[in-house]
Structure 1
Amino acid sequence: MKRTPLERKTPLRTTAPMARGKGLQPGGTALKRAVVKPKSVRRTGPPPAVMALLAARSAGWCELGIVCLGNAPAVDPSHRIAKGMGGTRDPRSNTAANNLHSCRACHDLVERSPAESYANGWKIRRGNATPADVPVRHWVHGWVYLDEAGGWRSALEYAPEGEP
């Protein structure tokens, strides 16, 4: 015999009576809206001094030049060693050698295509390498080493033969 969802073999039993409340009271706490303190946002990007170094090095134009060919205003710092979710406390993260001044389109492409980004030095794997020791393909200057002071030097002059 097939049972319908409402039929049961045994009746339901309660072991303890349900607690009775006072219901909604006028002026009760259930009707009051809780005051929520806004969460403070921790700024994880480069400090203004480093952003000024990036702007001086790039002259305000995209240093990646993948999509825009260097003709778009630079608005984003593109971290070569990723910060990770929620930021990082690694002191190398917000240095001028670890950041490239980029437009939004080029920055998005770097984040979406990791293989190409690692091959061109736009991204560096987390580890012991410092950003100043890893060459990067710069749109204007070619293969360069970036320094902490916001400058660069050609990688072709300093690299062993056969390496960029």
Structure 2
Amino acid sequence: MTRRKTGPDRATVDLVRARDGDQCRRCRREYQQIHHRKPRGMGGTRDPLINSPANLVCVCQDCHHWIETHRTVALRDGWLVSKWTDHPESVPIIINHLPVWLSPDGLAHPQKENTHA
């Protein structure tokens, strides 16, 4: 049985790495993993939003562990997004006490973009 790939494609990984500067967005150490803010779930998912740059963030192994073991605070601060959220880009990540919105185009914005134009 072949294992189905459920992670982002190479172009998306490159986009996220370019945005995050090859550093953990939480502590600024060298990144080691790409974290899915909205969880993929056991066995992955076919939801295309899961591998959107707005749902992905570079983290080090220690911060990834912290996010997974401090889920209430991670949800509050945007490092995790509820599985019921349809738009991860609408949930900011708190970085250095300031909100940052990650967009589907692979950019990060210090303020929410007006999507009702």
Query: Normalised by the size of structure 2, how large is the TM-score?
Result: 0.88
Give the corresponding residue for 1:42.
4
Deviation string for 1:4-37 (max 9, x for gaps)?
Answer: xxxxxxxxxxxxxxxxxxxxxxxxxxxxxxxxxx
1:59-85 per-position Cα deviation (integer Å, ceiling 9, x unaligned): 1110122xxxx12x2121111110000
Q: Give 1:62's match in structure 2, choosing from 24, 44, 47.
A: 24
Give the aligned length. Answer: 114
Which is helix-richer, 1 or 2? 2
Structure possessing the higher relative contact order (Cα contacts under 8 Å, 6 or more residues apart): 2
Contact 1:124 1:131 in 2 (8 A): yes
Q: Which moved more, 1:90-99 or 1:142-151?
A: 142-151
Relative to the length of structure 1, the TM-score reads 0.64
Alpha-carbon separation, structure 2, partners of 1:143 and 1:150: 16
1:77 counterpart residue number: 34
In the other structure, the counterpart of 1:131 is 88
- Are the equivalent residues in 2 in contact too, given 1:64–1:100 (CA < 8 A)? no
**Per the alignment, in what secondary structure is the counterpart of residue 105 of structure 1?**
helix
* Residue of structure 2 in register with 1:144 after alignment: 100
Q: Quick one: distance in 2 between partners of 1:125 and 1:153?
A: 21
Counterpart CA distance in 1 for 2:75 and 2:56 is 14
- What is the RMSD computed on CA atoms of the aligned residues? 1.9
Pair 1:98 & 2:60 matched: no
Name the larger-Rg structure. 1
Following superposition, the deviation at residue 128 of structure 1 comes to 4.0
Of 92, 95, 109, the residue aligned with 1:153 is 109
Identify which of 73, 98, 106 aligns with 1:116. Answer: 73
Between the two proteins, what is the percent identity of the paired residues? 31
Distance in 2, matches of 1:134 and 1:89, equals: 21
Distance in 1, Cα, partners of 2:22 & 2:69 = 23
Q: Distance in 2 between matches of 1:81 and 1:142?
A: 20
Q: Judge conservation of contact 1:50–1:96 (CA < 8 Å) in 2.
A: yes
Output one character per residue of 1:79-123: Cα deviation in whole Å (capped at 9) or x when no partner.
Answer: 111000000111110010001111111111101111011010011
CA distance in 1, matches of 2:51, 2:5: 11
Q: Which stretches of structure 1, 4 residues or longer, exceed 6 Å deviation after superposition?
A: none
Q: Deviations over 1:134-154 (max 9, x none)?
A: 111135x93111111110111
